[in-house]
Amino acid sequence: MKIQNLMSRSVITAPANMNISGICALMEKHRIGSIVILKDKFPLGIITERDIVSFIGQNGCNPLSYKNAGDLMHSPVFTMSPKHETREALQFMASKRIRRLPITDNKRLVGIITYGDIIREIQKDLAEAQIKTQQLKSEVEKAQQKTRELKTEVARDGLTKVFSQKHFKTLLEREVERVKRYGGLLCLLMIDIDHFKKINDTYGHDAGDYILVKVTELIRKHTRKINTIGRYGGDEFSIIAPISDVESARRLGERLRQFVSQTKFNYHGKIIRATLSVGVGSWDKTIIDGRGLIVKADKALYKSKHAGRNAVSVV
């Protein structure tokens, strides 16, 4: 910032021949702590309250009426152009150990700047910078939150809120890599709502969506949190069971099959029945990726459908 943007243009001045009593009267009148002493509009020096107090301490009050400002002022006085930067003024005052700096232009006094003026402006700038930093940080956090929300939206199926097929496959690949590297158990359940097209044709697509949501709720309710649920297709769901052996996964599929088949879904007063066909595939060393496990579970699902549906099969 330029000095001219910060300096005070209201400067209290006095001629060099004014006595000290007059200087004191000016200070009291304007409630200021310093006076700039001029000669032909150019600053010769500065007198401060501290100068006067020091003078009184040494000489008493009597000389105030006949001693002139020129006898007491600090000189030579340092000045600076209004076109200089305030940081330059601050450095200069610090080097000279002064707190006030008259500002001159073409050898005329045009203002004054103090050490305190510059420090307060710096503190103000720092405070504003801190506010802007906090605002920027808040905006960044909001953007990051929005990004997380968008990622979640992409990762989730819009209707059922379970994982989308694309994200589900990514999670499945991670699980396959885990068991390949460290060993352990991993099963995949592929689940199909039997005759779902008939439900849509009979009751309408809104009713079909209702059944999808309600079946998802049952699956969520009766599946452990460690398992991962995805909507694999229109009426097909899949579950990753990362610490389940084949028998445990089969029992899970059987529980889900029974709960759905025993549930009367009430859609606007109409009772709709649904059943599930379930296929269970377990990881073994011949499976090198998620696709291999999907193929295995799909074969088991086809087996359940071939057996008349509403069944759980394992391969």
Residue-wise pLDDT for 159-194, tens only, equals 999 999 999 999 999 999 999 999 999 999 999 999
Q: Is the pLDDT of residue 301 over 90?
A: yes
- Between the CA of residue 204 and those of 197, 210, 216, what are the distances in Å? 10, 10, 19
What is the 3-class SS of 198-266, one letter each residue? HHHHHHCHHHHHHHHHHHHHHHHHCCCCCCEEEECCCCEEEEEECCCCHHHHHHHHHHHHHHHHCCCEE
Q: Is the pLDDT of residue 104 over 80?
A: yes
**Percentage of residues in the chain with pLDDT exceeding 70?**
95
Q: Is the pLDDT of residue 200 over 70?
A: yes
Distance of CA 59 to the CA centre of its chain: 65
* Structure-model confidence comparison of residues 99 and 67, the more confident one: 99
What is the mean pLDDT of the segment spanning 145-160?
77
> How is the chain split into domains, by residue range?
3-116, 165-314
Q: Which CATH superfamily, name and number, covers 165-314?
A: Reverse transcriptase/Diguanylate cyclase domain (3.30.70.270)
pTM for this one?
0.57
DSSP 286: T
Q: Which CATH superfamily, name and number, covers 3-116?
A: CBS-domain (3.10.580.10)
Q: What is the pLDDT of residue 175?
A: 96
* Residue 195: pLDDT band with limits 50, 70, 90: very high
Reduced to 3 states (helix: H, G, I; strand: E, B; else coil), residue 68 is: strand
- Between the CA of residue 209 and those of 197, 204, 228, 230, what are the distances in Å? 11, 9, 21, 16
Q: What is the pLDDT of residue 149?
A: 64
